[in-house]
Structure formats: structure tokens, C-alpha cells
Amino acid sequence: MRWSQALLNTLRDAPQDAEIVSHKLMIRAGLLRKLGGGLYTYMPLGIRALRKVEAIVREEMERAGAQETLFPILQPAELWKQSGRWETMGPGMFRLKDRKEAMYVLAPTAEEAFTALAKNEISSYRQLPCIIYQMQDKFRDEIRPRFGLIRGKEFLMKDAYSFDADEAGADVSYKKMYDAYVRIFKRVGLDAKPVEADTGDIGGNFSHEFMVFASSGEDGILSCDTCGYAANQERAERIVQPLPYTTEAGAAEEVATPGQHACEEVAKFLGKPIDQIVKSLVVLANGKPVMVLVPGDRELNPLKLRRLLGGAKIEEADEATVLQAAGPCGSIGPVGLDLPVYADAALKGAADVVVGANKEGFHLQHVSLERDAKVLAYEDLVTVVEGDACPKCGKPLVIRRGTEVGQCFKLGTKYSEAFGASYLDETGAPRIMTMGCYGIGVSRTLQAIVEQSNDENGIIWPASVAPYQVTLLVLDTDNPEVVEKAEALAKALEAKGVDVFIDDRAERPGVKFKDADLIGFPVRVVAGTKGFAKGGFEVRRRTEKDSAIIAPEAAVDAILSLLA
């Protein structure tokens, strides 16, 4: 390709709404253009890079035994009603009507459609295991679309689904997909770390997220540098350190705490450490109020409460509900309360703590939870933070920000049961299939590569996904020798399967150098009168400062070895 004929404009400045480096660079390098909020057009160079990521994903899916399919994006509402997600997906799912008033969705994911297909097409154990996938756009009405391709309203996802005869088979399929993901991210040059994850809205029982560390990441990842444990903050566990307030200090006693509501305020007012104040929360579990107690400096993790309560739906309670169930917000506590009470495990044995008195302006001190309250269970219920003890080895955990590029789920039978996806086993008895689902945000992955691989001059593409592997800058377009040698080199490289982008514009060398670095071609070759006077092409890797002079005869081999 020649720049003089390409639809390619680089920009000196990034648009106002580009907050992170990869978003700025994708726009400035002419790879992407914005169509609307969360909606982006791939320019010719951008789509080339995306197609290369897709190709690697496809190769590894096929290698793992998955078969490609392609489902419609526009899907009948009935499908989503059958799984129950028509109700539970909420406003994040785009819904629309056809001219006959029939309802449809723009698929945000595709468990329903794949399971319905498996129900119809798979009838015997002989057809199992079966892994099918598609590379298809997904739509989500994100609360905050931002960061370009990182969080779009429309994005490209590779989604795969496995169908197995039983749990053991599902474990094998999961492992195959997990291993394929490790290979994919390695091949696209992305450092993505698998971390334990919560199973969220999709449901199911086991999951890994593949995370790319980035300061702009929206997820917190707790990891242990000693033993390698890593988990999403939503999911992370800890070895609980019991609080030191285990000796009774007399009977519970009411103290006036006028105007003091937050735990920090009460602690300061009473001159006690913050973790001696118990944070009491009323939340709704399946619509019914329950009380949860956590140390004053900790946050409740609703997912952990949900697990403790057998998958109950956990929601915040409004002020009126809290008032009716316990007392005025900011002054509530478990003493004398007729509500189910659950406490974080750090509070086990707490015998001298402060709780709200269920009366505006009052707290109770010297409370022993064992003696004065009825706690149904002590469990790890808080969000793990940096410094908590690793659940595997006990060393302090550290927190980093990350962005999820892929996720593997063991789904169990949630969808196969809803759709009646069963098969006949060896004895002819019907059995329900066990499923897994596996997503990669392909467009997000593309931008994550840029986020991870850049410098002050621009993008640094890994050769495997670069829009073109080599850029050939023709500096003196009026010197026939230069032009002729450059043309010959481009031809020879293309014959070896290397993509070459020729910058044949009548621009100053400085402009060409800047653009080559901004776009980030892995190898830059300069053809110019000066270089030829020194002996040949000036060849440089994007990551290096200095060029080497390479004789025209040796150039093809030298460039191939730089790309290898």
C-alpha cells in the first residue's frame, strides 16, 4: 500500500474526549474515527490490525477443537424470556420492535441462542463434547461508554460455548479454552493475567478473567507476589485476622453521640480506633431486610453475602426501610433487633465494640456480639483490600488496576436446563448437558495492546498484529535510483509474505519519521540518497533508536530476521 493512495490522516492532537493513551493514539494514528458515543469506525489501517487479532483468535479456537458458526445479532425476545434474562438484563440490553410490534434484542452475549441450537442439533452422547463459537458484534447500553474500543456500545466479541456430557467433561473443555486463551494473548503480544473471578449475571459456578494491568483499568485485582494468587477484587478472599477487642469491659452502655453517624465520626467522637466501631447495614435479600455487621473501616461485599445466602438477590435498602427495620440511618445496630444478622468473620469473638443504638444520636459501647446480639453466621463478607492476608499463603496482598480482555465461565446446567438441552447417554437415558462459555473482547484486546505497547512517540505494534509489518519511507522521490531500489525491496518483501506500507508522499523526512513512529510499524526502512551514499537502506526496529545501513542485496533477509 502507498500512503499517497491511502485513506489515512494522522493528527497532531488527540480529541478532547480521549482520556487514555491508547484511545488518543488510535485516533491520532488514523486507525479509528468516532461515529457517536461508544461507536467507532475502523479506518483501513485499524481494520487490518483488528483482522490480524481475529485471525489469531480463530486459529487458536480451531486448534482447541472449536467450530465456527455465526448467529444473528437481532434476536427474538422469546429466547431471552426463556432464560429469564429478558427481566434480569435491565437497561443494559438494547430492545426494539419490528413493524408487527414483535420485540427483539440486539444481543449483548449469546448463551440463549447457542443453547437453543444445541438443544435442537445435539441428541446423542456421540456428538459430545461440542464447542462452537462465533466472531460477532455485541451491543450493550453501557452506563459509561468510554476509552474508545475499551468500553463501546457496539464491540466485537469472540464468544464460544462448550457442551459436555457431564461435569468432568466440562472441566476438560474449560481447560482447553483456558489454554487457548493463554496462547492467544501471548501471540498478540499482550501480557494478560488469568485471575479468579465472580460469575456475575451470567450465573454459574467458576470463572477466570484474563486481565491486562493498566492504571486506567476499571477492575481492582488483588494479587500475591509470593505465591501467585490473583483474583478480582469482587471475588478475592482473605485469611481473616480477628480484631483484638475480645475481652468484655462490662455491660453494654448507651452513650450520646449527637450528630455522629459515619463510623469515622463516632470513632473520633468516642476516642476509639475505627475498627472498634461496628458498621451495621440493612440490605434487602430477596426483598427482605437483613442486617450485616462489618468492622468500621471495611466495606460489605454484596457478592459474598449473596453466596452466604444461597444466591439471594442483594439490594440496597432505602432510608424508610432501614428506619422501619432497625432505626434511623447512621445510628443502627444489632442489639435487641428482630432481624437475621450476619457478621464478617473478623468480628467473631468481638466483646467490646460500639454499635448504633437504633435511636437517633445514640450508640452502645462495650457491646459483646456473642452476649448482646443474635448473629446467625460469621463469614468473610467484606471487600478485600491491599494488605489483607493472601488466602493461599497468608502474605500481604497488593492491588493493581486492570481491564478484562477475556473470561472463561463454567456454567453448569443453568442454560441447558432452561432450554431443555439434553442428550441420550450410552444407556439411552436422557441427561442434561453441562456447559461452559468463553468470551474475548476482540476490539478491546486490540486497544489493550496499544495501551500496553507505546512510548512518547506513538504506538509500538507487535509484529503479529501490526496493520503493516514494515513501513518503507521513500525520502527522495525525485531520485530514480532511490525509487527503483525501494520498489524492488517492497516487491521482494511482499513475495515473502511481509506487508509493506510505502510512504511515498512528497513530505519532509521529519514528517515521515514522526508519522512512522506514531503509527508504530514494527520495522522502518528508509530509502534515501544519503543512505545509499553510505551503502544502502537505513533499517530500524520501532523499539530501537539507531538505524543500521543494510546493502540492498541483504535487506530482505535482514528485515525478515528483525520481524521474527
Closest distance between Mg ion and the C-beta of residue 308, in Å? Answer: 23
Q: Report CA-CA distances (Å) from 143 to 33, 148, 152.
A: 21, 14, 10
Out of ligand ATP, Mg ion, none, what residue 295 binds, judged by CB under 5 to 8 A for its kind, is none
232 vs 471 by CB, closer to Mg ion: 232
Does 383 sit near Mg ion (CB under 5 A)?
no
Out of Mg ion, ligand ATP, none, what residue 46 binds, judged by CB under 5 to 8 A for its kind, is none
The span of 72-80, 401-409, 453-461, 553-561 binding ligand ATP (CB under 6 A) equals 401-409
Tell the residue number behind the cell numbers 445510628, with chain if given.
331
Tell the residue number behind the cell numbers 419490528, with chain if given.
98
The span of 96-104, 149-157, 449-457, 498-506 binding ligand ATP (CB under 6 A) equals 149-157
The span of 302-310, 400-408, 414-422, 549-557 binding ligand ATP (CB under 6 A) equals 400-408
For residue 70, the one-letter residue type is: L
Does 151 sit near ligand ATP (CB under 6 A)?
yes
Helix (H) or strand (E) holding 316: strand 314-316
Q: Which three cell numbers stand for residue 138?
A: 455485541
Out of ligand ATP, Mg ion, none, what residue 406 binds, judged by CB under 5 to 8 A for its kind, is ligand ATP
Note whether 415 and 383 are within 8 A (CB): no
State which of positions 100-129 bind ligand ATP (CB under 6 A).
109
Note whether 435 and 132 are within 8 A (CB): no
* Residues linked to residue 369 through DSSP beta bridges, in sequence order: none
Please tell me the distance from the alpha carbon of residue 411 to that of residue 432, in angstroms, as a whole number. Answer: 13
The only residue of 407, 422, 453, 469 in contact with Mg ion, by rule CB under 5 A? 407
Closest distance between ligand ATP and the C-beta of residue 155, in Å? Answer: 3
403 vs 454 by CB, closer to Mg ion: 403
Strands 278-285 and 288-295: antiparallel
Does 406 sit near ligand ATP (CB under 6 A)?
yes
* Residues linked to residue 295 through DSSP beta bridges, in sequence order: 278
The only residue of 80, 155, 415, 537 in contact with ligand ATP, by rule CB under 6 A? 155
- In order, the DSSP letters of 362-427 are EEEEEE-HHHHS-EEEEE--B---TTSBPTTT-SBPEEEEEEEEEEEEEEETHHHHHTT-EEE-TT
Q: Which three cell numbers stand for residue 424?
A: 441420550
Please tell me the distance from the alpha carbon of residue 216 to that of residue 386, in angstroms, as a whole number. Answer: 18
Closest distance between Mg ion and the C-beta of residue 404, in Å? Answer: 5
Helix (H) or strand (E) holding 183: helix 167-187
Cis previous bond, 129, omega within 30 = yes
109 vs 173 by CB, closer to ligand ATP: 109
For residue 230, the one-letter residue type is: A
Out of ligand ATP, Mg ion, none, what residue 151 binds, judged by CB under 5 to 8 A for its kind, is ligand ATP
The span of 52-60, 294-302, 339-347, 405-413 binding ligand ATP (CB under 6 A) equals 405-413
Out of ligand ATP, Mg ion, none, what residue 444 binds, judged by CB under 5 to 8 A for its kind, is ligand ATP
Does 441 sit near ligand ATP (CB under 6 A)?
yes
Note whether 285 and 317 are within 8 A (CB): no
Does 444 sit near ligand ATP (CB under 6 A)?
yes
Closest distance between Mg ion and the C-beta of residue 439, in Å? Answer: 7
Please tell me the distance from the alpha carbon of residue 493 to that of residue 495, in angstroms, as a whole number. Answer: 5
281 vs 411 by CB, closer to ligand ATP: 411
Does 443 sit near Mg ion (CB under 5 A)?
no
The span of 7-15, 234-242, 440-448, 485-493 binding ligand ATP (CB under 6 A) equals 440-448
Closest distance between Mg ion and the C-beta of residue 152, in Å? Answer: 15
Note whether 282 and 322 are within 8 A (CB): yes
Strands 430-432 and 422-424: antiparallel
53 vs 516 by CB, closer to ligand ATP: 53
Please tell me the distance from the alpha carbon of residue 223 to that of residue 383, in angstroms, as a whole number. Answer: 14
For residue 493, the one-letter residue type is: L
Q: Residues with Cβ < 8 Å from 189, sequence gap 6 or more?
A: 449, 453, 462, 464, 465
Tell the residue number behind the cell numbers 535482514, with chain if given.
558
The only residue of 152, 203, 302, 330 in contact with ligand ATP, by rule CB under 6 A? 152
Does 137 sit near ligand ATP (CB under 6 A)?
no
Does 404 sit near ligand ATP (CB under 6 A)?
yes
Q: Report CA-CA distances (Å) from 545 to 28, 105, 535, 539.
A: 22, 51, 19, 11
Per-residue mark of binding to Mg ion, 28-67 (x: CB under 5 A): ----------------------------------------
93 vs 433 by CB, closer to ligand ATP: 93
Per-residue mark of binding to ligand ATP, 349-388 (x: CB under 6 A): ----------------------------------------
**Which residues sit at the interface with ligand ATP, rule CB under 6 A?**
109, 140, 142, 151-152, 155, 157, 404-407, 439, 441, 443-444
Instruction: Give me the residues that bind Mg ion (CB under 5 A), please.
Output: 407
